[in-house]
């Protein structure tokens, strides 16, 4: 019986091959941040408001002028065909049916040209390549395919070491390809020189540009003409700096505990970052969001919306597009329950005073 997201997680780890499960599920090094992302939610307790007529609840909201039916978005997650043959296409269709936003990863199996036509509320996650012309081409392709924003991931000047991937010598199956790299040596992992541990780490070493600085945000904005969200920020001063270089918003994220181990859990940074950037900047948070109460706490502390990473893979593996819809539906129903029990009719009523720190 599937009652919550954890039921899907259990099914997932029973079904998926070990090396792929390792890639999808694990975190960097000791996985301290991975665990803390979840534990931190229990450090914040709810203080419900009662007798407020909660007979009609709406979870609709708006993000950068885009109307969505739920404040739960789908985070960029690489190589989704390893979870289900329909991969990113299924995820985009689920986002469309649920009327929410999906962010499409650079390292996806289906490329911009395949996913773009599926949904009109897509963001594109950019890993900035050492080859600036290639990066420019990707950005222009997004514009042509009607993507609504660029999500610039900044917490990966190199890949954090996921020891599971080293032990399992993780490699994307040769039957798959990376849809945004067709015709380049990054099309699959076979053209990258033999590597003892994780092929993903070797792939990223070749691809990611560690020399980037804040001014590249203005460059992305100029080339794309689209809103730019900077993903992976954990410090209020970095958030402010990103905005001063033209970012339209910040995604508070530690990459689901996959980059710098022992980095601060994201929930803790929402309020300080909101206080720093002010009420008008777009603020998204991810990391360990699994319950309706988690969603409400993030919004109460200052996030506009949240996004989920691993749970979309659990849904995708369970039943393709329908499985991703199931994940969104379960979590949104929990959010509705939490809103009823805390006295919030709509997202704008989710206020800071609903949450106290233990």
Ligand X SMILES: Cc1cc2nc3c(=O)[nH]c(=O)nc-3n(C[C@H](O)[C@H](O)[C@H](O)COP(=O)(O)O)c2cc1C
Contact pattern from residue 221 through residue 260 relative to ligand X, giving x for each residue in contact according to CB under 6 A and a dash for the rest: ----------x---------------------x-xx-x--
- Total binding residues for ligand X by CB under 6 A? 22
Using CB under 6 A as the binding rule, whether residue 95 contacts ligand X is answered as no
CB of 55 to ligand X, least distance (A): 32
Q: Is 131 helix (H, G, I), strand (E, B) or coil?
A: coil
- State yes or no: residue 87 binds ligand X (CB under 6 A): no
* Residues 188 and 178: beta-carbon distance below 8 Å: yes
Contact call for residue 338 and ligand X (CB under 6 A): no
Piece in contact with ligand X (CB under 6 A), picked from 1-9, 41-49, 308-316, 338-346: 308-316
What helix, strand, coil percent values describe the chain, rounded to 5?
45, 15, 40
Out of 76, 87, 265, 320, the residue judged to bind ligand X by CB under 6 A: 76
Instruction: Specify whether the CB–CB gap between 21 and 347 falls below 8 A.
Output: no
Strands 355-357 and 44-46: antiparallel
Q: Whose Cβ is closer to ligand X: residue 171's or residue 231's?
A: 231
Q: In angstroms, rounded to a whole number, what is the distance separating the alpha carbons of residues 208 and 159?
A: 9
Using a 10 angstrom Cβ sphere, with 0-12 exposed, 13-18 middle and 19 or more buried, the burial of residue 222 is: exposed
Q: How far apart are CA 275 and CA 265, in angstroms?
A: 18
Nearest CB to ligand X, comparing residues 14 and 51: 14
Give CA–CA dist 208/221, Å, rounded.
19
CA 264 – CA 261 distance, rounded (Å): 9
Which segment (73-81, 169-177, 183-191, 201-209) binds ligand X by CB under 6 A? 73-81
**Of 217, 224, 273, whose CA–CA distance to 245 is shortest?**
217
Using rule CB under 6 A, residue 286 touches ligand X: yes
Is residue 291 a contact point for ligand X (CB under 6 A)?
A: no
The reply to whether 107 sits near ligand X by the rule CB under 6 A is yes
Report helix angle 5-15 to 310-342, nearest 10.
170
Shortest Cβ distance from residue 83 to ligand X (Å)? 9
Shortest Å distance, C-beta 49 to ligand X: 28
Q: Which of 13, 1, 2, 3 is nearest to 314 (CA)?
A: 13
Q: In the range 18-47, which residues lie near ligand X by CB under 6 A? A: 24, 37
Q: Is residue 177 part of the contact set for ligand X (CB under 6 A)?
A: no
CB 116, CB 122: distance < 8 Å: yes
| Interface pick for ligand X out of 68, 74, 75, 230 (rule CB under 6 A) | 75
Structure tokens at 39: 């534990």
Using CB under 6 A, which residues numbered 115 to 174 contact ligand X? 125, 153
CB of 312 to ligand X, least distance (A): 8
Q: In angstroms, what is the minimal distance from the CB of 37 to ligand X? A: 6
Report the residue number whose CB is nearest to ligand X: 309
What DSSP designation does 214 have? T
The CB-of-272 to ligand X minimum distance in angstroms stands at 19
Q: Which of 302, 309, 315, 320 binds ligand X (CB under 6 A)?
A: 309
- 204 contacts 159 by C-beta, under 8 angstroms: yes
Nearer to ligand X, 103 or 240 (CB): 103
Closest approach, Cβ 336 to ligand X, in A, equals 20
Q: Is 203 a catalytic residue?
A: no
Strand ranges (DSSP E) for 56-148?
61-63, 66-68, 72-74, 102-104, 122-126
User: Rounded distance, CA 250 to CA 216, Å?
Assistant: 15
* Interaction site with ligand X (CB under 6 A): 24, 37, 75-78, 105, 107, 125, 153, 231, 253, 255-256, 258, 286-289, 308-310
Catalytic residues: 255
């Amino acid at each position: 019986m599937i009652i919550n997201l954890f039921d899907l997680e259990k099914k997932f780890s029973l079904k998926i091959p070990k090396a792929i499960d390792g890639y999808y599920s694990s975190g960097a090094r000791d996985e301290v941040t991975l665990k803390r992302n979840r534990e931190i939610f229990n450090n914040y307790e709810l203080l419900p408001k009662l007798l407020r007529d909660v007979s009609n609840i709406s979870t609709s909201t708006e993000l950068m002028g885009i109307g969505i039916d739920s404040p739960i978005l789908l985070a960029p997650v690489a190589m989704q065909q390893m979870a289900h043959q329909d991969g990113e296409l299924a995820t985009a269709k689920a986002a469309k049916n649920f009327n929410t936003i999906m962010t499409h990863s650079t390292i996806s199996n289906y490329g911009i040209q395949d996913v773009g036509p599926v949904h009109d509320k897509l963001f594109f996650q950019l890993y900035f390549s050492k080859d600036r012309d290639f990066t420019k081409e990707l950005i222009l392709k997004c514009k042509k395919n009607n993507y609504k924003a660029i999500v610039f991931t900044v917490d990966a000047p190199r890949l954090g070491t996921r020891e599971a991937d080293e032990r399992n010598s993780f490699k994307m199956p040769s039957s798959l390809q990376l849809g945004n790299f067709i015709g380049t040596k990054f099309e699959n992992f076979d053209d990258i020189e033999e590597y003892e541990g994780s092929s993903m780490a070797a792939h990223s070493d070749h691809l990611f540009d560690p020399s980037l600085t804040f001014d590249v945000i203005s460059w992305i904005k100029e080339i794309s003409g689209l809103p730019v969200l900077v993903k992976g920020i954990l410090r209020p001063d970095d958030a402010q700096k990103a905005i001063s270089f033209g970012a339209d918003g910040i995604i508070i994220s530690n990459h689901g505990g996959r980059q710098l181990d022992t980095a601060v859990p994201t929930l803790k940074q929402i309020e300080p970052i909101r206080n720093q950037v002010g009420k008008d900047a777009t603020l998204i948070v991810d990391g360990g969001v699994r319950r309706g109460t988690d969603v409400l706490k993030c919004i109460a502390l200052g996030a506009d919306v949240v996004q989920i990473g691993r749970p979309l893979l659990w849904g995708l593996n369970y039943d393709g597009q329908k499985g991703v819809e199931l994940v969104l539906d379960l979590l949104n129903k929990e959010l509705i329950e939490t809103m009823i029990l805390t006295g919030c009719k709509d997202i704008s009523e989710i206020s800071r005073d609903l949450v106290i720190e233990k």
